[in-house]
Chains A and B, each alone.
Chain A
């Protein structure tokens, strides 16, 4: 590195600004520190969510009451869902890796609105505390499920208002991040970095940002309506007052289906970075991947009704939603084919991130194909609201977004912390986690097809075997999880120093030191005609 500007003398982890210690973090407007703030807060919430999930699996180890009452079980799956969806996978990769990497990947010093970025994190924390207060105080923990379906959500005697308000605030956090990223990508690309030279992760952040900005306000308004219904009985959703509870489902899924693409698109983006790096080959079908990203983001707005096939909607709407649901599968499949073609004849360098990435493709395909089963009208009536749906979305949200998150943390860890983790332990953790995952969720496909409903603390004797297997899977999975976390936490401070570009990546973040200096670049890079994100010879 040549001349270093004053701000860039220390790396971003060591840099001392106006405040010291913890304050220097929670008031920092540096995109990299904010990314880590999200990483730590989401890791805490994820761990809480995992514990609640383990508790539910333990309850389902045997029919009847095992460790908790029915009401406690209802509260447990509600809080588990709210935490995992609104506090983990929706902020997900954009909040952590988007914040950390987006400016570096486009050759900028920070995002367009650094203070707004910090505000997003504060909103996140406020949302978390509001939801937690719903658990700790008042008339009982919410028990509606993460979907807050009307009419139960305004009839339930539990302490729902703070939870609803918390989800509302978390939505704002998401909107602000989306807005920030949109402006950043439009305005702050370094000279020569054309749209067709953006790394694919940036493209997926772009598609995601649009969804965050356009879909999230819908759920915000819907939640406000539920609150008004509870407090004043305005009668929008209450049939007794002339309202329509199905309208709630429409509004909720108008957000929440696009939201599943908020979760999965950046995950696909991270995989699209990792596969070429470890195949040491140019990504196959760069433009096709971009087109499919934007197609998913767009068509994703138009299929929400597939969550409501059995709710009593019109036949016309059912046909429409089923048809379009099948259409979204096409761009997703395009990506899978592109990843596989990228690996074909590559010189594959098998490392931990690559293991996570290929297992991502495996579980994502099972999740996606089971989505098609659910999208078919006749099959849906049979398996809707059974364990099959739970298996589907865990395969795709946990197996998709979750695996991609682990792939990403193992890929960018040396860049973020400037240190390398222990690869043997990382691989061991991955293997155990993967085995646990498959053991935990696969039986649920079977159980659902046999008719075991979701969201019950009890089941018929005939479902016992599958449930035992699934619960054992949860123990295996958590063993892998602990290994992974301990390895990463230890290595962040004790691991051997990492090089600038340990995996031979070709995107801009690998051209700056590990960990990056405060303002990323001493001089804003200039992209030449022949430079590109995946220029492998």
Chain B
């Protein structure tokens, strides 16, 4: 780790101000950022800690949407009765991230700002059609996730909350990498009154939707509607754990299981 300065932001606005300093970076749970710094792959001059920014925390349910503050930890989402009631699939997803230590520190804001191509939350955001609320604007999930580790966020822009519309049914099924337990393939399906959305994480260079499955499921909500072949091996990642063919195959298997499990 290189040496760096440290500041604790009082709230989101304060954090955005502190971020103006060159090479400054916010730290949320630190579960991704600190290991990267230890490996000397990141070299922030100033770490702006969001831990004391109470305005970034909390879970609220309104008629149409569930709002989760950026600094809400995975464990808080997993154990929240509000989340369980509004979207059990989201709570279950959070419970499946990493290990207890990671869940007690890692945050939803950090996870989506980081946009790891194998992370779980981006699939939920995309499939549920979430809105990412930032210090500057509201960004639909469809426009937020850009490619590997890239988002629509500008340099001084912070995620403050995520608003999830309520689905009739939803489920997330993850095929974990045996070593890291990140997703080799994770599929989130969400059924709304007038549409179905399917998002896949882990399989490709970034989280993506599968229109063919969405249309098929909108016509007929059944695991049989998932046709293999809609996800092509040519678009998949390949590594020692899973070839592109295997990933493409797993996408269909996980999607079917998600439809069958959706509540």
Is the pairing of A and B real? Answer: no
A positions within 8 Å CB-CB of B: none
B positions within 8 Å CB-CB of A: none
